[in-house]
Chains A and B, each alone.
Chain A
């Protein structure tokens, strides 16, 4: 019962509360919330172009959310998704620009792998610090977000040769052989930027589902997350498993960055802030309670909200309201005790003086 409550009622009620409070805010500033939401839906799902863009928005969210979930299964918080995705973006574009002339069959997978590997390595760092020095992965990943942000600007300005660049702050467009875009997806969705990255994201939903549910590594990851001490005494190598989970987590974030680079933008341009897909991905994973299917649905929902932002703008409402709604939804997911308190008829009796992590 409790599990069902966590997985279905809490997310659904959180979304409803988020949308209602959002409506209240819109009404308070003197606009019609129903018109706002209508215009939002129209902007994200109104025609094939906007549906394509919404699926495109969902792509990196699915991948970063899967990354967050894998780390979370082993009991870690990977807050560094945005830095890792940024590194994946830089890595994939770097590969694509250096090996410009290669045929598509090598260049595209190579660029994607470059992005994934760069981030798997980066993801390993907080994992290693955690298992050998017991350093809080929350803090190391937050710090690494900023390190990677500044380093990416440094690489763009000072390391890449002039021949890569178009102006001072962005690279030139990658060759067609490194692009994730395909004609059929573009044509199918009326010229949107939807690309093969979306199919990759779908494949990885299945892969991660299989990993967690049917493989030894997945079993070990889950066991450590549930009880590290029991896992240790049953012979699971904590160090190896935690580091592997962080590598997978980072690699998924890197893939998210690579789909942004090779699919959506086709180049790299310097970022002034941490990438939004990092924290949004974390939000998606939390709303989807970490399950791959939940993540898929949540990512679609958030993509509808995010892509609907311009619609809000058309209705005269500042589009930032969409992110406010997302934050409120995650507040309720986090504070699920509130929802449980109201829908559980007889609250479970608490263990005396229990300290709950």
Chain B
């Protein structure tokens, strides 16, 4: 294999592995910026993946090429509804955020496989017929050298997702909504005193994380796993959480860390085809994202451990 085709392979698989992580990590950022810890991202991704695959299988004939895109949205909406459980539990019912998030993670895989068995009478779905594949990005792929590496046989969705991370950054740091969202995550009491509806902002944060996590799961199922089973989402949600922390609760930071984690994952997936990393034990690449997250938390984050009121319940005074 020559250097260009190796790079093309690594870049495109990095993008494909990263995109679901980026979406979910951005979702986690919204939730935690509003002060609600969301360890349930994994469960939300499971529900997104499940709904997207079921929709894709049922309607592929009707919608043709557009199916994966519509299924993506279906996954996002399912994610919103599922994250509502977390929102109601933590915001309205004052549940511990970690316990409620764990409930999502316990509930999602069992519920999804339960429904798969009810619908299809077997433990996993068939492969979907309409999936996100590889394509060239017109014009940009004609750029010599770089065009071939970055824009040919690549994932368009991934570029859209990277664009979304910039939009999310603008929303969180440059809009009135973002300012309010961050204020209830830092000091809900002060925000309340200024007339900001703490509960509304926190519900928005959690439901946005449901949307993004659902999209992430739907994207993963339709670009990587191609079907749905109990092992479709195995740790991606937690890796997205790691990316969010590594990115210091900033959507662009989350995107860059997710790209890095996707790079590690893609090396472990395509490494066997590349001669000079063939001999590296795959375990180093597999554990890299998790080890790096711990090291970053310990060494670089220092005092900044996320939004100040993250993980606390707010009880409005009467």
Contact = CB atoms under 8 A, between A and B. Distances in A.
Interface of A: 29, 77, 79, 129, 133-136, 138-140, 142-147, 150-151, 153-154, 158, 272-273, 279, 282-283, 286, 318, 320-324, 326-328, 330-331, 333-338, 350, 352-357
- Which of A139, A273, A352 has the most chain B CB within a 10 Å cutoff? A139
A330 B103 contact: yes
B160 interface: no
B89 A135 contact: no
A134 B309 contact: no
Interface residues of B, number: 57
Contact of A354 (B95, B109, B311, B315): B315
Interface string B81-111: 0000100110001111011101101110111
Contacts of B230: 273
24 contacts: A133-B298, A135-B294, A136-B305, A139-B245, A143-B291, A147-B290, A147-B291, A158-B281, A279-B105, A283-B102, A318-B118, A320-B113, A322-B110, A323-B107, A324-B107, A326-B106, A331-B95, A331-B100, A331-B107, A338-B93, A350-B315, A353-B192, A353-B317, A355-B188
A155 to B, nearest CB: 9
A324 B110 contact: yes
Interface stretch (B47-55, B137-145, B233-241): B233-241
Contacts of B291: 143, 147
B3 interface: no
Secondary structure at the B interface, as helix, strand, loop or mixed, is helix
Contacts of B245: 139
B96 A146 contact: no
B290 A357 contact: no
B283 interface: yes
Contact of A142 (B85, B109, B241, B283): B241
Contact of A334 (B96, B305, B317): B96
A206 to B, nearest CB: 27
B16 interface: no
Contacts of B311: 357
B313 interface: yes
Interface string B158-202: 000000000000000000000000000000110010000000000
B293 A139 contact: yes
Contacts of A330: 99, 102-103, 106
B106 A327 contact: yes
A153 B291 CA distance: 16
A336 B313 CA distance: 14
Given A321-B114, A356-B315, 6 more contacts: A146-B287, A146-B290, A330-B103, A330-B106, A335-B100, A337-B95
Nearest to B314: A355
Contact of A327 (B103, B188, B192, B297): B103
B231 interface: yes
A283 B106 CA distance: 9
Nearest to A282: B102
Contact of B297 (A140, A334, A338): A140
Nearest to B290: A143
Contacts of A352: 317-318
B297 A335 contact: no
